Each structure stands twice: as structure tokens, then as C-alpha cells.
Amino acid sequence: MKTIDELLAEGVAGKRVFVRADLNVPLDGALITDDGRIRAVLPTIKALVDADAKVIVASHLGRPKGAPDPAFSLLPAAERLAELLGKPVAFAQDTVGPAAHDAVNGLEPGQVAVIENLRFNAGETSKDDVERGEFADRLAALADVYVGDGFGAVHRKHASVVDLPARLPHYAGYLIATEVGVLKKLTSEVERPYAVVLGGAKVSDKLGVIDHLLDKADRILIGGGMAYTFLKAQGHEVGTSLLQEDQVPKVQEYLERAKAKGVEFVLPVDILVAAEFPDLKTKAPANPGTVAADAVPAGQMGLDIGPETRKLYASKLADAETVFWNGPMGVFEHPDYAEGTRAVAQALLDSPAFTVVGGGDSAAAVRILGFDENAFGHISTGGGASLEYLEGKTLPGLAALEG
């Protein structure tokens, strides 16, 4: 895989460089609530700007249905990028139409343009190779060189991720190079003990990575909504907690395999419960109760790990040399249910381990709860991509850059 440093050594002054970024930021209306993904691509963009390239930044945002939708416009991301760069950024209101060509043609060396959401064109996500290829051809007409730096999208077989680099000289940006290096430390170059913390809503989203990690991790700590399927698999009642009943047999199988392999599975010993899901808009006090994990009352739902579990999990992370964390421990968006996620984040900071926060809600939680991002070993920008890499899958976007 060629890197941006090789591209810069070859010289890019005056060249049109297409940067496939991941600007898929969370929005509240037109307000960006977390700009972490924009900041993550800044080193690549700044390096190209300093080398007098004409930089074309492209990304997806959300899931529009192959047509323009103002709710998913990249304009807020373009405006934030301009603020972070400290210089104007042109914005094209289409992807490959007249506005995009005008924006690119108007670039001087060292200037930047952002084109509109790639998913406003059905060709970006099409399962038809020809349709995707036609869109990639139109994108390729905008540029001379391709730099892939949207790690959050490399697990997608999309036109700008897979087909476009096949049509242009292609290089990996700094973010992708960093992400791949980190993931190697979690797979082929692991320092032990290796602890993995998995949370989030659905156990089905994590089964593949659990399956793969049973051959690699020393201990796996479970929290979040997925914990209740594990507790059910142990024969405990979970009230009205989130439960994937159909996954119970698979979870039982994994618990048995872990025991046979000597991998320690650590489940909650106490949890916070309430009769209703909290109001995340008003953040009204929820007044949860604390119960043993094997004693959830009927009509109550688990919404966070309890204080004894927080202590237990901190102790299980204290001596680790490598920690990977993906998924919050509870409904961290509400202050009454944020302490479990906060405790895990703090345990990572207190540990001497190489710590990786695996993107998605975990990365958002770190920022929302006020932790210093730089205090962690690495905060990934791609939750889904990180998990698929850890599952041992080939990521199409990385394969395209290696080709």
C-alpha cells in the first residue's frame, strides 16, 4: 500500500488530488455535535495543501436514498473544515455535475473544495458493478490522483472507496495508515494480557468479532444492551431489558468455547434498572435502582452496569497490556446512566496498556463525557470497519489501496 508520504515525495504541486474522507459527522439540524472525524483527516488535507495540491474532499453522510436530501448535506462539514483549516473551502452543491466541475476548475494550488454527499448519487452505493463504475468514471474526471483516508468507509464496496482508486494513481492517507497500524497491534502484534471490552445494543453486531477474538483475547468484558442476552444465556431473567432471544444459543456456545480455551468472560454482577427508558431530550432525572445482575425484577429494564461491576471491570483492565473497547456500557447519553461508560473510559486511562477506543458510540462517549482524547492510545474513526478487521475480514477499501 503506497502512502501519502510517497505521493508527496513524487510532488503534487498543481495536481488535483481527490481525498476520500469520512465526514459522516452526527448532526442536530445543521449543528455538528461531534467533529472528531473531520479533525481526523486534517493531517492529510493540510499536508496536501502545504504541498500546493488542488484538494478535492469527498465523503458520504448518513443514508440518503441515492438522491439529494438537504437533511444530509455536507455543507456543515465543509464549513467546519474551513474553520479548522483557517482558510476558505469551496463547496459544490452536487457530486459530479456542473457545480463540482466549477468548484474544481476554480481551485488554485493549495486550495480546497468539498463536493456534496456522495450518496446523493445512486451509483455510489449500487450493487451493480456497471452503475458503480459509471459513477466512479465521473468522479475520476475531477482528479489526477486518489488518496483514501476515509477509514470509516473502507468496509463498504462503494464507488468512491473501491472503484475510483482503480481508475487513478492511489495512496493511503495518514489516518488510514495509522488505523491499519493500530489494528495490527490488536491482531498480529499483541502485547498480553489482552483485554477486550464490548458493549452497545445488539449482541448480533458483535458475534463475528467475539468469534475471532476467542483465539486472541485473554479476557472479554461485556456491557451495554448486549449484556442481557449473555445474562439470559446463563439462565437469568432480565425483565424488559433489551434481549435478542434468538441469539441465546449462539451466546451459550461462545461461553462454552471461551471456557474451553481459557478465555475469561466477565459479565455484569449488578446493573441499574428502571421501569422506562429515559428521556434523552429533557434528561429528566430517571431515579434508577441498583439490583444484582441475576435479580432483575419483572417490568424493569437494565440501562447501565452498576457500581460493583464498574469496580470489577476496572480491576480486570488494571494489569492489561492491550485493551480494545467498542460500545458503551449503558445509555451514556443520559447522566443517570453514564457512569458505567465513564468508569470504563477512566479504567483505560488508568491502565498502562496500549488502549484503543473502537470508534462509533465509544468514541462519541469519550468526547461527550469530557475525556482528553489524546490520553488514549488511539481513538478509531471507524467502528464498523474496526470490528470487521478484527473479525479477520478483507476490507474492500483497503484491498483497493493495496491493488
Q: Write out the binding residues for ATP.
A: 206, 302, 333, 359-362
167 catalytic residue (yes or no): no
DSSP H or E segment with residue 360: helix 360-368
**Catalytic entry in 20, 37, 232, 316:** 37
∠155-157-159 over CA atoms, to 5°?
125
148 catalytic residue (yes or no): no
C-alpha span between 94 and 104 (Å, rounded): 12
The DSSP code sequence of 365-385 is HHHHTT--GGGSSEE-S-HHH
200 catalytic residue (yes or no): no
DSSP H or E segment with residue 101: helix 98-105
**Catalytic entry in 202, 250, 311, 393:** 202
Does residue 193 have a cis bond before it (omega within 30 degrees)?
Answer: yes
Cα distances from 232 to residues 99, 229, 247, 367, in angstroms, run: 55, 5, 10, 32
Listed residue (145, 147, 146, 151) closest to 175, CA to CA: 151
**Catalytic entry in 360, 382, 383, 397:** 360
Q: Give φ, ψ of 242 to 5 degrees.
A: -55, 130
46 catalytic residue (yes or no): no
Q: Dihedral of the CA atoms 187, 259, 246, 329 (nearest 10)?
A: -60
Question: Among all residues, which ones are annotated catalytic?
Answer: 37, 202, 360, 384
